[in-house]
Each structure stands twice: as structure tokens, then as C-alpha cells.
Chain A
């Protein structure tokens, strides 16, 4: 998985609780991304980062926030989890932004009950 790890790999949480997912890379790539994958929707971009402390929204950013305090770590936070956020979350990294190939982590399965 191109030097990308995600933690936790599986999580079950209750509605209304905060959740933080972590993505860690050892490749020193500039860009990092968070996607969610749902049946029938493919992969959808939540947020992305183009450098330390530089982040921006994707197409499905409502209910999510991110932080990137160092090159290797990109955190995704659900401030108050809802059942609609039950999904598989993938982190990806790349060098040149969206218009170039991205490498994906193994994914985190999140279930909100």
C-alpha cells in the first residue's frame, strides 16, 4: 500500500460521539486525501491537503474536519458521528495533486450505530 497506514482499521461507534481516523505515510508525498466509499457511489473526496496546515474541502465535506500538523499525518475527524457516515474510509497520497496518480491506504471500516 505504498507506505500508507490507516488506523484504526475497524471501528464501531455510537451516534453523536466524536471519531478521529488517522492516515500515516512514509513516502513524503505532498498531497494527502480522504475519501469515503459507499455502494453505488464509488469513491468520493471528503477533504484533501496540499501541505502542512494546508487543507481544502472536497465534494462531501459536511460533517467532517481534517488536520495536517506534519507531512506524514493527516487526520479526519467526525465531530459528532451520524449513521449516514457509516462507510469505508480511504486515505490516499500523491505528488502532483488530483491530476496525477494517487496511492491508497488499506481503508477503515466505520460503523455508526
Chain B
């Protein structure tokens, strides 16, 4: 399948543990953030999003936390499962050059061990 990246930071966790994936974003004017999951050979899949007027948003087994003071975003996955193994990207929305654009991070690889 398509190779996402050979030298991504990797988070290794045991099945059943909670995972926390961190992301530092670059622009304080960014108003919208998304987490994507990308499995090998597939396109990025939307997981959860959060607007800048929120600090926390919860989904099914996932929680996104936004700390605008330090420009930090995190994705928490509860009871991590082998199917959660993938590369996770954060993206920030910024209005620049006359249009809104999503700026993607390089990604973090999550490896779940039985």
C-alpha cells in the first residue's frame, strides 16, 4: 500500500490501554481542527473535529482536547484496540492567501501490541 512516511514518530501501546497522541499547531488564528486516521494503503479517514471556541469534544472512544494558550491539540483513544493501529494526523484551518486552507501535520504512527 501507499507509504505514509518512513520516519514518523511512533507511539506504542498495549491493547486495552489508553492512547494520547499530541499535536502542536502553528497559528494562533486557526479556528478549526480535525483529527484524521490513515491506515496503510488507504486515504485519511475523519475521526473528530473541534472548533476554536471549545476546549474539549468527545466521540465514541475518542476525545479531542484543545489548549489554545500553548497551541496544542491532543487525541485520546480509550481502550486502544489493534484496529486503531494507523497513522494519525491533526489538521488546522487557517484563512490565508484569500481562502481557508487546512494545514496538516506530518503524523504520528500508533502501534498497538496484544
Interface set of A (CB-CB < 8 Å, partner B):
1, 4, 37, 39-45, 56, 58-59, 88, 90, 92, 97-107, 109
Contact = CB atoms under 8 A, between A and B. Distances in A.
Interface in B1-60: 2-7, 31-32, 34, 36, 41-46, 49
A88 B2 contact: yes
B100 A99 contact: yes
Given A45-B101, A99-B32, A99-B100, A40 B5 contact: yes
B99 A56 contact: yes
Nearest to A37: B4
A99 B30 CA distance: 10
Pairs A-B, 3 closest by C-beta atoms: A104-B43, A98-B100, A42-B104
B51 to A, nearest CB: 9
Given A41-B106, A98-B93, A99-B93, 17 more contacts: A4-B43, A39-B6, A40-B7, A40-B106, A42-B104, A42-B107, A45-B101, A45-B102, A92-B43, A98-B100, A99-B100, A101-B46, A102-B46, A106-B41, A106-B42, A107-B41, A107-B43
B42 A42 contact: no
11 contacts: A37-B4, A39-B4, A43-B89, A43-B102, A44-B104, A98-B93, A99-B31, A101-B46, A102-B46, A107-B42, A107-B43
B44 A43 contact: yes
A90 B44 contact: yes
Interface string B88-113: 01010101000111101111000000
Contacts of A107: 2, 41-43
Contacts of A43: 44, 89, 91, 102, 104
A44 B44 CA distance: 13
Contacts of B100: 97-99
